[in-house]
Chain A
Amino acid sequence: MAKKNKKEINRRDFLKAGGISAVAATVAMTGCKPKTSVSSGRGSSIEAPTDKMTYRINHNTGDVVSLLGYGCMRWPLRQRADGDGEEVDQEAVNELVDYAIAHGVNYFDTAPVYVRGWSETATGIALKRHPREKFFVATKASNQRGNNTREGGIAMYERSMRELQVDYLDYYLLHNVGASLESFNDRFIHTGLLDYFLKEREAGRIRNLGWSFHGDVKVFDHILAMDVHWDFVQIQLNYQDWQHAEAPRNVNAEYLYAELLKKNVPVVIMEPLLGGRLARVPVQALTMMKEIRPDDTAAQWAFRYAGTPENVLSVLSGMVYMEHLQENIRTYSPLTPLNEQEYEMLEQATDILVDSDYIQCTECQYCMPCPYGLDIPGVFGHYNRCVSAGRILKNSNDDNYRKARREFLIGYDRSVPKLRQAGHCIACDQCLPKCPQRVNITQEMRRVDQYVEELRQK
């Protein structure tokens, strides 16, 4: 695929640009921190260049798409003024979107179900303030959860246009297919929704039709082989999932990417950071990264990895903080593709990651809300942060036992209210089909609960 710097953007003198790559971000291993704090040095607020973004061309429509795509799955929230729950912090969203567009990002990916259903509205408000031709917007036909009808699907599609305040959608995806062939057929074939979307594409209201995939390889093969022209496909790709997305949890990105390349279907990448986990790698892996590029963060490595394959159209990142947005823009302005030596190092880093104790949760919130009130991503997130920090204890003779125990338990109560902790999981298994990572949530909850019990009793 062609790769070039977008010419339309004014080439202003950007004095700071030269110095940017030289600025070192101090990497301090963070403890079992709650997620509100910026970790692993991804906190340095340095201006990003406005005219260096790497772009890829979608050969179906000729769209010139920024390699960094904005995932609208994690918009910042704030307490409502009346104290009754939370709402999207629209000013912060506007600020992030303005900054992204000003620095060359032009792909925005949302879905009706994201951020408790508020994402499309918030994204629409922010994008409305920019000329329509300045951005591409992607949204999805989400699962109607148990009650899949043609009318429901069309209503969802129409609502998306309304909320996003647009009269055509640049990219439309059949959301999260791959659980099973039956469910795919139920959702899109028997209801006739796929035919409806194909007609909408003919009518020009959907410019690119594709699907996002998690799950069973058979479903992937089947849909790809269908007699439908797919404009693009969205897959999960990162250096861990390249060869270690163990079945049946997920399919190796290596296979998915190769199949799509064969068919010349552009690929959009999701979970380049595995829900932030690749931004907080264990110390040994981080050391290897620092040896090659002392100034780069773990997150930058993950983004360069995801952006290097030429058939990748855009790499999505759900950026909540300005610092993350700036760093990601810098990573792709322009992209420095990985070389052989770097690929080898990341393979070794992957071995370390796979061997460690992580729960394969990306904190995507798809499982939530849990009907019994648990904060599933909160519990797993705390556990994983402690794995990253090397604070999971094997036995009470460890040198730092007392300290690590105290930090784990206090941090646990800080991250998750007592009534929403792992012990309250009743194993109803209602969340299992909702998890795109195929995490055995029930089993992992027990693992965390057992670990916590051991700590408390020692």
Chain B
Amino acid sequence: MLRRLRIITAALFFVLITLLFFDFTGVLHKWLGWLAKIQLIPVVLSVNGVVLFILILITLLFGRVYCSVICPLGIMQDGISNLSGRRKGKKNRFRHSKAKCGLRYSFLVLFIAAIIAGISAAVSLLDPYATYGRIVSSLPAPLYRLGNNLLAWFAEKADSYAFYSTEVWIKNWVILGISGITLLAVGFFAWLNGRTYCNTICPVGTALGFLSRFSIIRITFDADKCTKCGRCERNCKASCLDSKKMIVDHSRCVTCFNCIGKCNFNAIKYTSVRIKKQKSGVAADHPSPKERSRRSLLAVTGALALAQLSKAQQLLQVDGGLAEMEDRKAPDRKMPVVPPGALGLKNMQTHCTACQLCISVCPNNILRPSVKLSTFMQPEMSYDRGYCRPECTECSKVCPAGAIKPITTAGKTGISIGHAVWIRDNCVVNTDEIQCSNCERHCPTKAITLIALEPDNEKTLKTPVVDKELCIGCGACEYLCPARPFSAIYVEGNVRHHLV
């Protein structure tokens, strides 16, 4: 009964959280956005006291329910482990092992230290929710979008507007590689040993494990009924049951309730018991699954590579046809641009765990993960596929970690996240000697003025001048600039966002 309840709830949570990463229309987030906002690390980083209190309370009452039902990475491992257990002769495949406390607490300490020291890459790599987010958004989400585009194609044929196609592109090959490796590593341990990752590496698992030692309702042996047959132990994916000694390591038990059903003698119960003293395990060497290499798995997903704009023949002497357009390249920004609501790079760096939720939901294809070490995998903006449109506040709505704080559309137009920089040599006014006013015309804050090349002669060509006091860094000028491959006007981030 309890087990079934756990499985149903977990499956529901898992599917819905996964959908959050698939949905690019922003509709689901309105209803389900809270699922991301109850994930522990984002809760801690966004200093959400109420939710944190509730999560701690749940753990103190019921044990690590969080790990079984709320954490998507945990549920994913249960799924993999379950598949593994369906193989022939693998029915009772687990066995008790000692807790690897040294390793566990080292990772926890390292994690806390990384948060305090602002080493965001380490925080991002260890946060289980963000790990899951990266896996979903870089591997299955593009497939989901391709499926959507197929439906959109059919819809177009049928003159329906039910589906519209969306861009599918690999936002960052490094992140894709890391996600792939993480999936392989976590999946490998889950396939072999169930919850090894959660009980050895995951800082959330360790922290909640520490709390759940003191949980009030917990799995306990009924010494009178137990025959020490070992059936429970052989079915414990957390390896926390010692049937010989009739001891449960509550710090590792994820309250999956599998053991209760397996016991033929009704000797395992989930009930409230007085706290007993427990022997802590001895640390053992365990290889880290986090081998970072940038190569493998890239080939697998090569098929997803973005199709280039088909080349149109460039014949100026005849009618018709489309001019070939060189692909836009992103400029090398000295200061990364982060979305309005992020307050600045510092806030982004210290709060974001790189779950990629904002990147998945950005409808204008602006956000993508960074490859710089200091902001590794965290979102940054680039305007080669679109610009930060005035009516959109999607990323600020979805961020669970307080890295991008909620903003309104009205407020957004007053937040300066960066400033435009003009590059004389790229501007078509200079290269093609033709009057272009696209940046000036599209600037929402009128921060760009056109000035005649020869000040005395109004009739000469005009080039843009940017008023940095008015510029909000939305990137309309950069996106709509006709210069290729680099725009003649691009946005540099502001260290700290401010109001104009």
Contacts and interface: CB of A to CB of B under 8 A. Distances in A.
Interface of A: 30-31, 33-34, 37, 83-85, 112-117, 144-145, 364-366, 368-373, 375, 403, 406-407, 410-411, 413-414, 417-420, 423-428, 430, 446, 456-458
A427 B436 contact: yes
Contacts of B390: 457
Contacts of B156: 34, 414
A368 B438 contact: no
A116 B435 contact: no
Interface of B: 156, 159, 161, 164-165, 309-325, 385-386, 389-391, 428, 432, 434-438, 441-442, 480, 482
B164 A426 contact: no
Given A116-B319, A423-B442, A410 B161 contact: yes
A368 B320 contact: yes
Contacts of A414: 156, 164-165
A368 B320 CA distance: 5
B164 A419 contact: no
Q: Is the interface of A mostly helix, strand, loop or mixed?
A: loop
B404 to A, nearest CB: 21
B437 A413 contact: no
6 tightest A-B contacts by CB?
A: A365-B320, A117-B318, A426-B436, A373-B325, A369-B323, A410-B164
Contacts of B437: 426-427
A425 B437 CA distance: 9
B482 A426 contact: yes
B321 A369 contact: yes
Contacts of A372: 323, 482
A117 B322 contact: no
A237 B319 CA distance: 22
Given A114-B320, A145-B316, 4 more contacts: A37-B159, A113-B318, A114-B319, A424-B438
B391 A457 contact: yes
Given A116-B321, A413-B164, A369 B315 contact: yes
Contacts of B309: 417, 419
B60 to A, nearest CB: 48
B480 A423 contact: yes
Given A369-B312, A373-B323, A428 B434 contact: yes
A85 B310 contact: yes
Contacts of B161: 403, 406-407, 410-411
A407 B434 CA distance: 36
A426 B438 contact: yes
10 contacts: A30-B159, A84-B310, A145-B317, A373-B325, A411-B161, A419-B309, A420-B325, A426-B436, A426-B482, A427-B438
Contacts of A458: 391
A188 to B, nearest CB: 18
A115 B320 contact: yes
A375 B320 contact: no
Contacts of A364: 319
B319 A113 contact: yes
Nearest to B438: A426
A372 B438 CA distance: 12
Contact of B317 (A34, A113, A420): A113
Contacts of A413: 164-165
Contacts of B385: 418
Contacts of B165: 413-414
A254 B321 CA distance: 34
Contact of A368 (B311, B319, B386, B480): B319
Contacts of B325: 373, 419-420
A373 B321 CA distance: 10
Contacts of B434: 426, 428, 430
A16 B108 CA distance: 86
Contacts of B313: 85, 116
Contact of B435 (A31, A112, A427): A427
Contact of A33 (B159, B316, B320, B480): B159
Contacts of B321: 116, 365, 368-369
A439 B482 CA distance: 23
Contacts of A85: 310-313
Nearest to A407: B161
A403 to B, nearest CB: 8
B444 to A, nearest CB: 10
A26 B358 CA distance: 48
Contacts of A368: 319-322
Nearest to A409: B164
Contacts of A30: 159
Contacts of B482: 372, 424, 426
Nearest to A428: B434
B363 to A, nearest CB: 10
Nearest to B326: A373
A251 to B, nearest CB: 22
B412 to A, nearest CB: 12
A446 B442 CA distance: 11
A436 to B, nearest CB: 10
A420 B309 CA distance: 11
A445 to B, nearest CB: 11
A420 B322 contact: yes
Contacts of A407: 161
Nearest to B409: A457
A84 B314 CA distance: 13
A31 B161 CA distance: 10
Contacts of A427: 435-438, 441
A369 B164 contact: no
Nearest to B389: A456
Contacts of B435: 427-428
